[in-house]
A and B are shown apart, each in its own frame.
Chain A
């Protein structure tokens, strides 16, 4: 192919204008296609509650230690609601009992018989001078979650509304995330050999309901909260209580806030 000088300059000029224009238009075109797909997906039959706007929520939970009575209702209802595997090592939420000697707060005695599923048998005496209390635990729905960072296949992620979820069709069951979670909130489902964890009852909260554990907590020790909703009572709770998260030094951006948490809790 032989180009004359004039033709070459004309072609080069056209390319010079068209290439940046195409580059600028390309992301918008792709985005438009994705938006169209998302709209089609959410209005498809079977999609639960198409009115739910993920960008308008940022879910969290507040737990009042002074209200937890260790009844195990949350553990039982979680297993029922989410079909969690049966067994003493498979829990999306569980309750721990702390027994802290007054002179040695760094070495608390912790037990959680069957995760608190059957309640707690008494094993302490009221006059042994130690401090004793219950701590409900669940996935802390971290905004900067270590488990998400280590997943090699993009099977676990923080949803746009702040819930750490698992794409079970992509999970390899490699257990990286189980080790990465500083709170021990993940386990391998023995039936499917993929990871399982608390979803903050994503199927419930996206329908405007509270989680199963909050629904059945008899003392209101747990409350689901939407940090993006200025009218949500969780703001009043967080303002009115001294709260902390578990292992704040790990900077995971945990969103399960504990009021009345003792420093001995790990």
Chain B
């Protein structure tokens, strides 16, 4: 009887050692290593605060404009590789046909306070850049 009890106990601990993954139960009913797995992903979008380290001229140009708070990668896309090594990834200029209208086309659902235009009516098809500098879109401030 005692041998059966000891054998059963040993079998239980032996099997649970084999079958329970390492780190299981450390934080809860899951494998603790899953947290590290989730952290391993490489960045695609860079730290938005890194841009100004090199492009301080753009930061200056944006000051006081309505676009001052727009993060660089909102328009310029994912640039983690560029931020890591500027020669590794050359940022492409955003497509001027799509860029402005993505946010500024008139939509009934958009907040009334947000500046919106009907592009065809507003500029008659002329490029936005003729009047607006994307980094400082107020017409007075544009070059």
Contact = CB atoms under 8 A, between A and B. Distances in A.
A67 interface: yes
B55 interface: no
Contacts of A146: none
B45 interface: yes
Interface in A164-205: 165-170, 199, 202-204
Interface string A49-60: 100101000000
Interface stretch (A150-158, A229-237, A240-248): A150-158
Given A126-B108, A216-B73, A159 B35 contact: yes
A79 B107 CA distance: 24
A255 interface: no
B114 A219 contact: yes
Given A158-B28, A160-B27, A203-B38, A41 B33 contact: yes
A209 interface: yes
Grouping DSSP codes into helix (H, G, I), strand (E, B) and loop, the B interface class, with mixed when no group exceeds half, is: loop
Interface residues of B, number: 44
Interface in B1-48: 21-24, 26-45, 47-48
Interface in B68-92: 69-71, 73-75, 77-78
Contacts, number: 146
A219 B68 CA distance: 11
B44 to A, nearest CB: 5
A38 B27 CA distance: 10
B35 A203 contact: no
Given A202-B39, A215-B73, A120 B30 contact: no
Given A80-B78, A202-B39, A203-B39, A70 B110 contact: yes
B103 A41 contact: no
Contacts of B107: 69-70, 120, 122
A37 interface: yes
B44 A46 contact: no
Contact of A48 (B39, B45, B73, B74): B39
Nearest to B28: A157
Interface of A: 34, 37-38, 41-42, 46-49, 52, 54, 66-73, 77, 80-82, 97-99, 119-120, 122, 124-126, 132-134, 154-160, 165-170, 199, 202-204, 206-210, 212, 215-220
27 contacts: A37-B22, A37-B26, A41-B36, A47-B36, A48-B39, A66-B111, A69-B110, A73-B102, A80-B45, A120-B109, A122-B105, A125-B108, A132-B108, A132-B109, A158-B28, A159-B35, A170-B21, A170-B30, A170-B31, A203-B38, A203-B39, A203-B40, A204-B45, A207-B43, A215-B71, A215-B74, A219-B114
